[in-house]
A and B are shown apart, each in its own frame.
Chain A
Amino acid sequence: MTTYIFKRLAVLIPVLLGMTIIVFSIIHAIPGDPADTILGEKATEQSKQALRDQLGLDKPWLQQYFSYLGELLTGDLGNSIRTRAPISEEIVPYLAATFELTMASMLFAVFFGVNAGIISAWRHNSWFDYICMLIALLGVSMPVFWLGLMEQWIFANELHWLPSSGRMNARDPMEAVTGFYVFDAIIQGQFAQLWTVCKHLVLPAIALGTIPMAVIARMTRSSMLEVMQLDYVRTARAKGLSQFAVVYRHALKNSFIPVLTVIGIQTGALLGGAVLTETIFAWPGVGRYIFEAISNRDYPVIQSGILIVAVIFVLINLLVDLLYVVFDPRIQYK
């Protein structure tokens, strides 16, 4: 297993190198002088030259790439042009915010998705099955933007149950220790704050989790349907086990591999930042960080942001591969 992990990590090296090349090329894909494009209409020649120096744009292409790579290896992601702050420091709270939202969304998506899928398969062709699959279809096709605004309108403006934006009640701030507000509230023993933080998570988590939920539900259902036909399930039933035990203990485990793959891919995608959800709910996550960098032509942030998100995506996939073993002991990595 350990050897396998090392092997997989070694395979990551060419993948990461490939990504650095793509990310590095972004700035060179700008037509004309990047300094012109980045700084815009009112920039002086001096500030343009300063930017060229900062980004090393005057040097040969290869030299630029290798010094970029060298900086990356020392953990230097460069400085943001807009805020002039080091990206490696600046991005941390954004990653924490996105991570928290992703966890909440996936909790929602996995719980409802898996259970809906299981029950749909269990009660195949029943009204529950039809309704679940209709909801799943709607879920996949519903624009997040619309869903988010509808949620705000109903649950915040009309019913006043939940806050419509942000991570925390702005009037009642809490000290951020780790940047994961749920965790922060717990370690500081502030349970009223914990309640507020959870309430702020609900609407964005549902908006963000709806598509993964629908995908997971469909995947679970079809995978379960297949497994439920197998002999060993029939044997389990013949043994006199309750339906619940058959479905949740015997069938689920074997049908979970494809579901796990889907969960992994969806988690990776959400961690990459959900621009729309984060925009609507004013969630200060990494999707907005990159999106705002794009609108401000802040190329170093775009480059580093994409790189980090890509690395996270690759790592999540690795994690999913390793989790297969847990669910299917027949899979062994050597």
Chain B
Amino acid sequence: MRKRMGWLFTLMLSLALILAACGGGGSGTSEPEASTKPGEAASTEPAADPAAGGSGGTLIVGRGGDSAALDPAIVTDGESLKIAQQVFDPLLAYKAGTTEVEPALAESWEISDDGLTYTFKLREGVKFHDGTDFNADAVVFNFTRWNDTESKFKFEGDSFDYYDSMFGPEEARVIKSVTASDPSTVVFVLNQPQAPFLQNLAMPPFSIASPAAIEKSGADFKANPVGTGPFVFKEWKRSDSITLEKNPEYWQEGLPKVDSVIVRSIPDNTARFNALQNGEIDMMEDLSPDDLATLESNPDLQKFNRPPFNVAYLGFNVTKKPFDDPKVRIALSHAVDKQGIVDAFFAGQAEPAKNPIPPSLWGYNDTIEDYPYDLAQAKKLLADAGYANGIEQPLTFYAMPVSRPYMPDGRKVAEVIQASFAEIGVTVNIESPEWATYLDDLSKGEKDDLFIIGWTGDNGDPDNFFYPLLDKDSIGGNNYSQYASDPLHEVLVKAQQETDQAERTKLYEEAQVIVHDDAPWVPLVHSTPLLAASKKVEGYVPSPTGSEPYAEISIRQ
């Protein structure tokens, strides 16, 4: 009897436990609803002083992946740079929503006539989160750390990939020296002029870190970042969340507006959207286009489109017949239904492309008129080029085996293009080798006749698109079309050496005319990633570069 009661007791106890865990609905303590109203800070910190312009509250952002590391200098992934933007400031920054540079830690600058010496006047009175002063020595310390391959602050496993790629590898450094001429003046001397130099300095990987903190934390700095940015790093739970708190001494008056920011990793797009609808997060990255209708029917939510910063294109291998003839390339340009591709595969969250650079980039030439989708015209032009019966010999069409931000499904897009080409008598065979092989084959340009690929910008300078993708110097690298044009090369080199912005703008506009007329590519689309937020979130301006400081965001109570 006693034993029997024991069983019953165990049974009831476990039942009670489970019921307790499942319950909550009836008892009126439904936590996700009650305590997760955006803007209601659960922490005991006092709300921000309204006079300081802050709205207070906690902003919770949901994103797909976690940061790799929190030291911006050693990372290359966008997720890491998103946090870097909150904790650190570079010398210069991008103006909200654009890629134009504006002062940040540097207040003003002068460029010598030969374009080799840049003198920056630094903002005074700025402090790192650890209380040490930001000054010219700190700038010198950071650049020396990145530049000097033997630096003792280059910790095991560290590599400064962005520094190497934007300011030249060890054997070809762009920056010759960085010196502090007084506590608030720093002088950069270059080995050769670099037109996008200011543009590069505004990239988050070149944020200024606290020298004292790097010395103190050593290799652990990548998990304990200390900068001058709007938010102070507090805690990192890997693959879960990163917690940041307001920097009360931030140098921009009245910013940041919220008391704290929590950035959560919720990998599944639909689950992230569920969390937004349930009020567990206030804002999310990467809304799937499929969820757009649900979002628009919910009066509490709003959507944002990130301005495009990429291009997906159909490239022709111009060293191979028949694509050595620009007439053929132009004819086929008329046979690609860009709008159809945008509607079918991007759910409208992209714009058809007519130039190699996205419209959010300065220097974009809007006077270019795209080759319209017109199969009759395409057929006629093809006949003019000597292919009245089309091209029977099947061409090898490489379609990407993986999904990229600029191209979610390369194979399906290739099939649409294949069908259009078939209508004008051009036969193509789609091939999708494994990704590493794919890139390798495109570089060599031996196996493919035409291909789909794309590019995402790094620093917001047109050179970052044109030079690696279309200059004759980049053949064997990312110039997969093997396109060698001397007029274009001349324009691009001139634009690289020019420091006057207006002059450079003109040169890039000219470059777009050359590329349009030669048609080594059919630019396909610029995708505009979707973001969503609660209507309580105000003041958010997404940046084309993929990340932005959350300092201006406030939460309506």
Contacts and interface: CB of A to CB of B under 8 A. Distances in A.
Interface of A: 31-32, 36-37, 41-44, 46-47, 50, 54, 79, 82-85, 90, 93-94, 107-108, 111, 115, 148-149, 152-153, 156-157, 159-167, 169-173, 176, 195-196, 198-199, 201-202, 242, 244-245, 248-249, 279-282, 284, 288-289, 292, 296
B237 A93 contact: yes
Contacts of B18: 107-108, 111
B502 interface: no
Contacts of B280: 156, 163-166, 170
A123 B22 CA distance: 27
A284 B237 CA distance: 9
B238 A161 contact: no
Given A94-B238, A157-B277, A244-B4, 4 more contacts: A83-B222, A165-B280, A282-B265, A288-B267
- Sort A-B residue pairs by CB-CB distance and give the 6 closest, nearest first: A284-B239, A282-B266, A172-B42, A84-B157, A284-B240, A171-B42
A285 to B, nearest CB: 8
Contacts of A173: 235, 243
Interface string B262-278: 10111110111011011
Interface stretch (B30-38, B183-191, B371-379, B510-518): B30-38
A230 B286 CA distance: 60
Given A42-B165, A244-B4, A284-B238, A83 B264 contact: no
A169 B35 contact: yes
A245 B237 contact: no
Contacts of A50: 159
B14 interface: yes
B169 to A, nearest CB: 6
Contacts of B101: none
B59 to A, nearest CB: 10
Contacts of B42: 169, 171-172
Interface of B: 3-4, 7, 11, 14-15, 18, 20-22, 24-25, 29-33, 35-36, 40-43, 58, 60, 65-66, 68-69, 74, 76-77, 156-159, 161, 164-165, 169-170, 222-223, 235, 237-241, 243, 262, 264-268, 270-272, 274-275, 277-278, 280-281, 434, 436-437, 439-440, 478
Nearest to A176: B237
Contacts of B66: 292
Contacts of A90: 238
Nearest to A281: B271
A162 B161 CA distance: 43
A121 B425 CA distance: 69
B222 A199 contact: no
A296 B33 CA distance: 36
Given A82-B68, A149-B271, A171 B41 contact: yes
B60 A85 contact: no
B271 A164 contact: yes
A111 B16 CA distance: 12
13 contacts: A36-B436, A42-B76, A43-B161, A46-B164, A84-B69, A156-B32, A165-B274, A171-B60, A172-B35, A242-B4, A282-B275, A284-B237, A296-B68
B272 to A, nearest CB: 8
B68 A83 contact: yes
A83 B271 contact: no
Contact of A31 (B4, B270, B436): B436
B490 to A, nearest CB: 27
Contact of B158 (A84, A108, A201, A282): A84
A44 B161 contact: yes
A152 B271 contact: yes
A206 B383 CA distance: 65
B267 A282 contact: yes
A199 B32 CA distance: 10
B32 A162 contact: yes
A202 B271 CA distance: 16
B271 A282 contact: yes
A43 B159 CA distance: 11
Contacts of B265: 282, 284
A171 B164 contact: no
A111 B14 CA distance: 8
Nearest to A81: B157
Nearest to A159: B25
A292 B65 contact: yes
Contacts of B158: 84
B241 to A, nearest CB: 6
A100 to B, nearest CB: 13
Contacts of A170: 60, 241, 262, 264, 280-281
B168 to A, nearest CB: 11
Contact of B21 (A167, A169, A198, A289): A198
A155 B33 CA distance: 12
Given A83-B69, A111-B18, A171-B36, A157 B278 contact: yes
B519 to A, nearest CB: 25
A76 B35 CA distance: 43
A249 B3 contact: yes
B275 A279 contact: no
A79 B437 contact: no
Contacts of B32: 156, 160, 162-164, 169
A201 B21 contact: yes
A46 B271 contact: no
A41 B439 contact: yes
B114 to A, nearest CB: 29
A115 B266 CA distance: 35
B209 to A, nearest CB: 16
A82 B165 CA distance: 18
A41 B161 CA distance: 12
Given A32-B437, A199-B21, A44 B36 contact: no
A264 B243 CA distance: 38
B35 A161 contact: no
Contact of B239 (A79, A115, A171, A292): A292
B240 A153 contact: no
Contacts of A242: 4
B8 to A, nearest CB: 8
A54 B165 contact: no
B35 A202 contact: no
A36 B441 CA distance: 13
B40 A171 contact: yes
A167 B170 CA distance: 45
A245 B1 CA distance: 9
A164 B274 contact: yes
Contacts of A44: 161, 164-165, 169
Contacts of A163: 31-32, 36, 278, 280
A85 B223 contact: yes
Contacts of A282: 240, 264-268, 271-272, 275
B23 to A, nearest CB: 8
Given A32-B437, A163-B280, A54 B264 contact: no
Contact of B33 (A37, A160, A280, A281): A160
Looking at B4, B40, B65, B267, the one whose CB has the most chain A CB atoms below 10 A away is B267
A95 to B, nearest CB: 12
Contacts of A165: 264, 266, 271-272, 274-275, 280
A281 B265 CA distance: 10
A301 B347 CA distance: 36
B178 to A, nearest CB: 21
Contact of A153 (B20, B237, B274): B274
A276 to B, nearest CB: 9
Contacts of B267: 279, 282, 288, 292
Given A31-B434, A173-B243, A282-B267, A46 B169 contact: yes
Nearest to A295: B65
Nearest to B32: A163
Contacts of A47: 159, 161, 164
Contacts of B271: 148-149, 152, 164-165, 279-282
